[in-house]
Amino acid sequence: MRFARENPRWGYLRIVGELRKLGITASKASVATVLARHGLPPAPRREGPTWSQFLSAQAKGILATDFFHVEQVMLRRYYVLFVIEVDSRVVHLLGVTTNPVMAWVVQRARNFTSDLEDAGRRFRFLIADRDTKFTASFDEVFKAIGISAIRTPVRSPKANAFAERWVRTVREDCLDHLLIYSMYHLQAVLADYVRHYNEARPHRGRQLVPPLPRHDQPRTGEICRRDIFGGIIHEYDRAA
């Protein structure tokens, strides 16, 4: 039982062999019976990392993407496509549209992957839900630079928790307190908020450090407040 729990990839014969090295004789059938009696299934994996543990272990190489929609004052719907880096929580705004057709989505993916290549940045996985807007062509754009798309299970928003949490944050911090009157207005609002989120907003998942902290902040001097969106959000800095 100890061998099986400590080595979840060991099969019955491997356990038989290890027992034999210790002078204990047991058959494959006996090992299988004992493990089954204690509720341990066969190898290759009796236990293993949860999805959260997997994401934490692989975080530096993972991106997550999703859409969310915003209604403007005349009830016209806009769709927002974004990507978040799971490790750093840096958010990239890919675009806003009223009609997220395949060609538009694929082109935004091309623009983003081109920026990654220009910056020499490497990732291994892209997590996305099963939204039909994420097509095979979309996946191929990322595959071309070595990023494999991972689809979350049906109706499992927690499997894309980092992206879902950012949507909640941008709504609670910003969009729920503003009236959006055009697509250009929404683009400007989101650009300002993404800058605030990446550079100034403390993040609990990063020990209260922003995703892209400003390291040139003076340690002394007068504290100044900067109002964003007319005072809906405040930022505080030391005067230079």
Q: Are residues 7 and 61 in the same domain?
A: no
Residue 140, in any domain of the structure: yes
Boundaries of domain holding 16: 2-37
Q: Are residues 33 and 56 in the same domain?
A: no
Residue 219, in any domain of the structure: no
What's the total number of domains in the chain? 2
Q: Are residues 68 and 130 in the same domain?
A: yes
Q: Are residues 24 and 106 in the same domain?
A: no
Q: What is the CATH number of the domain that holds 151?
A: 3.30.420.10
Residue 214 vs residues 6, 20, 209: alpha-carbon distances, Å: 44, 60, 10
Tens digits of per-residue pLDDT, 102-133? 999 999 999 999 999 999 999 999 999 999 99
HEC string of 126-164? EEECCCCCCCHHHHHHHHCCCCEEEECCCCCHHHHHHHH
Q: Are residues 152 and 115 in the same domain?
A: yes
Tokens standing for 75?
Answer: 């009830």
Q: Are residues 18 and 64 in the same domain?
A: no
Please report where in the chains the tokens 């990322």 appear, as a residue.
142
User: Is residue 123 a contact partner of residue 112, using CB atoms and an 8 Å limit?
Assistant: no
Tens digits of per-residue pLDDT, 210-220? 999 877 777 78
Tens digits of per-residue pLDDT, 121-167? 999 999 999 999 999 999 999 999 999 999 998 888 788 999 999 99
Tokens standing for 7?
Answer: 């080595």
Q: Are residues 79 and 10 in the same domain?
A: no
Residue 27, in any domain of the structure: yes
Reported pTM: 0.77
Tens digits of per-residue pLDDT, 176-228? 999 999 999 999 999 999 999 999 999 888 888 899 987 777 778 898 999 99
Residue 136, in any domain of the structure: yes
Residue 227, in any domain of the structure: no
